[in-house]
């Protein structure tokens, strides 16, 4: 076992991502997270299912949409239809990982297999915008995307900012792909920031 795993007192559990990437035909935006919250914290079996995560509230505000279901398959189907209508795909960076037992924190996840972002971009040539939903180095979606680029013998340069929306572009198969990194919508981050602050970051993303 890698020595990094031994730095933690709690045991790690090997976990496979419970959901497939959901990408509608002709999607223009791909939202990329890290890994779903633990099953006991999920209100439905889809992305961002912790009731304390404001991700879906943010998107609802931006697209003037009211979600009516918060549990079960009705919530899943409603969110899939919403994403399809707005040409938005969604996935996570971790496909297979070790997660510390009892934790949903990104810092307690060790990657084993990452999502093949270049493959998804090839499969869906209409995608021209990536939104990474966390910015922590090495363990957030941004950090994991950088690791993925290195695994492909490429370099992803992203300017850092502690307080502003992070954004940049890269070229893939002669396409310009925009990258945006707003603040996370997780309960931990929302303890320190107002809802409208995060909302305004996402508004900037979808207006660019």
d(CA 135, CA 153): 21
CB-CB contact of 138 with 147 (8 Å): yes
Confidence of residue 10 (pLDDT cuts 50, 70, 90): low
For 74, the 3-state DSSP assignment is: helix
Domain range enclosing 51: 7-207
For residue range 19-61, what is the model confidence (pLDDT) as tens digits? 999 999 999 999 999 999 999 999 999 999 999 999 999 999 9
Residue 1 domain flag: no
Q: Is the pTM of this model over 0.95?
A: no
What sign does the dihedral 148-153-159-162 (CA atoms) show?
A: positive
For residue range 67-117, what is the model confidence (pLDDT) as tens digits? 999 999 999 999 999 999 999 999 999 999 999 888 888 888 888 999 999
Residue 60 domain flag: yes
Residue 55 domain flag: yes
For the record, the structure tokens of 148 come out as 């993925």
Closest to 112 measured CA to CA, from 98, 102, 99: 98
What single DSSP character describes residue 147? H
């Amino acid at each position: 076992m890698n020595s990094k795993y031994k730095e933690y007192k709690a045991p790690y559990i090997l976990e496979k991502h419970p959901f497939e990437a959901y990408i509608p035909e002709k999607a223009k935006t791909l939202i990329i997270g890290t890994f779903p919250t633990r099953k006991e914290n999920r209100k439905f079996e889809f992305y961002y299912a912790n009731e304390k995560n404001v991700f879906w509230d943010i998107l609802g505000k931006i697209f003037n949409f009211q979600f009516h279901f918060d549990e079960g398959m009705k919530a899943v189907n409603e969110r899939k239809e919403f994403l399809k209508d707005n040409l938005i795909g969604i996935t996570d960076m971790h496909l297979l990982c070790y997660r510390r037992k009892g934790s949903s924190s990104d810092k307690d996840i060790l990657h084993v297999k990452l999502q093949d972002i270049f493959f998804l971009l090839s499969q869906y040539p209409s995608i021209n915008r990536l939104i990474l939903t966390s910015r922590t180095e090495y363990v957030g979606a941004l950090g994991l995307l950088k690791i993925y680029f290195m695994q492909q013998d490429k370099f992803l340069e992203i300017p850092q900012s502690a307080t502003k929306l992070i954004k940049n572009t890269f070229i893939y198969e002669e396409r310009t792909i925009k990258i945006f990194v707003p603040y996370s919508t997780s309960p931990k981050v929302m303890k320190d920031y107002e809802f409208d602050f995060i909302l305004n970051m996402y508004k900037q993303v979808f207006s660019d």
